[in-house]
Amino acid sequence: MKRLQQTLKYRFRDEALLYKAVTHGSIDPDVDANYERLEFLGDRVLGVAVASLLYRLFPDEPEGNLSQRFVGLVCKETVAEVAKTLQLDKFMRVANEDLRRNENVLCDVCEAVIGAIYIDAGVDAAIEFVNNHWRELIDRNVEPPKDSKTKLQELTHHLKLGTPMYHVVSRSGSEHRPVFEMEVVIGDGRKACGTGTSKKLAEFAAASAMLEILK
């Protein structure tokens, strides 16, 4: 764990928290022994930290642009990218080696580490960690990225297919780890579905799936 802490640039007072943060449920299904609860907490801390960072870095941008940047920085793909940069895949405790390459798991572990830092040293330390490891991603993307819903709406208008319509297909999972399935329907009747831990993220996933269909 000392090597991992060097990579994270954070030294834990309680190393047991870090050990838990990199432990997958396939190793230990006990909710107090794997990363699931820490991931739940870290996901929320990450959101606050990124929103605060963007608010300070882009004082002249409207809410729409900030939202686009925010979505790009907290999405599964970006968080998984940070996880790989921090070499979390090498330190994860998993029963199946394929899980080290799973974006969902990488994202969860990275958020769990943030949650562990929050428990270990408080909100300021967790926000500082996010600032250190997300700032390069912000600097790399000068222009706010267009999210999949925006891209899909622009494309359907161009194709004269009207405005995409979204609705909930299902909601599953536990109260603190919900999974939403959303469906998007465009003007010619074509449909696509996507899942996410919130309605908004599921809508983005559905829009991405529809963009693939329209390609």
What is the set of active-site residues?
Answer: 43, 111
CB of 12 closer than 8 Å to CB of 38: no
Strands 191-196 and 178-185: antiparallel
H/E stretch holding 198 reads: none
The single-letter DSSP state of residue 147 is P
182-to-6, 44, 194, 210 alpha-carbon distances in Å:
41, 22, 6, 12
CB of 41 closer than 8 Å to CB of 35: no
Instruction: Kindly give the residue spans of alpha helices, DSSP state H, lying in the chain.
Output: 2-8, 15-21, 36-57, 63-74, 76-85, 88-91, 103-121, 123-140, 148-158, 199-214
Radius of gyration of the chain (CA): 18
